[in-house]
Amino acid sequence: MRAPAPPQVGSPAPDFTLPSTGSGEVRLSSYRGRSNVLLAFFPLAFTGVCSAEMAEFSQEFSRYESVNATVFGVSVDSVPTLKEFKAKNDISIDMLSDFKRDVCRAYGTLLEEQFFSKRAYFLVDQHGILRWTFTEAQLGDKRGTAELLERIEAL
């Protein structure tokens, strides 16, 4: 089965509602007019690169906030797993559980055979338009804070 192509830059970001490690569910469209959103899809909780990446988002939380960006980590892990991951790694950003993998499929990040997501980034502006995407060639690669902030500041 061929994975769907990710949404194109300049098009509306596919809307979704997912359970969160915060309070309740997060609906992407609820951020329209309020904040830019960086969706950071990651393969699995409790893996080395994923732990480092989510910790870096947390350490740089105020820098993302200063450019009016909300960052969400998105994975196929369950909410209880993500809550434990968040607690054990002192992560402050909310993470979203795409346990049914529908959002990963809509964004073209799901590795169907492995049943988890590629590491990928989707920057959605305050109008709900996708402004930048990047999918890592290797699961162990990740974008750095400087590059991500530069993309957000360019909006």
- Could you give the 3-state DSSP secondary structure of residue 109? coil
Q: CA dihedral in degrees (106, 99, 115, 110; nearest 10)?
A: 20
Between CA 149 and CA 38 the distance in angstroms is: 10
Q: Interhelix angle for 48-59 vs 79-88, to 10°?
A: 70
pLDDT, position 8:
95
pLDDT digits (tens, 9 = 90+) for 34-81: 999 999 999 999 988 999 999 999 999 999 999 999 999 999 999 999
Model pTM? Answer: 0.92
- Catalytic site includes residue 50: yes
pLDDT digits (tens, 9 = 90+) for 94-109: 999 999 999 999 999 9
Q: What is the mean pLDDT of the chain?
A: 93
CB 118 within 8 A of CB 43: yes
What is the mean predicted confidence (pLDDT) over 81-100? 96
CA atoms within 13 A on the CB side of 97: 19
Looking at per-residue pLDDT, the higher value among 122 and 145 belongs to: 122
pLDDT at 4 over 70: no
Set 50, 54, 95, 152: catalytic member? 50
Say if residues 121 and 42 touch (Cβ distance below 8 Å): no
- Matching residue, tokens 């200063």: 66
In this predicted structure, what is the pLDDT of residue 83?
97
Please compute the mean of the pLDDT values over residues 133-153 and round it to a whole number. 89
Res. 2 pLDDT band, cuts 50 70 90: low
What is the per-residue pLDDT for 3?
A: 55
pLDDT at 1 over 60: no
pLDDT above 90: percentage of residues in the chain? 85
- Kindly list the distances between the CA atom of residue 63 and the CA atoms of 40, 85, 89, 122, 147, in Å, as whole numbers in the listed order: 16, 23, 19, 18, 12
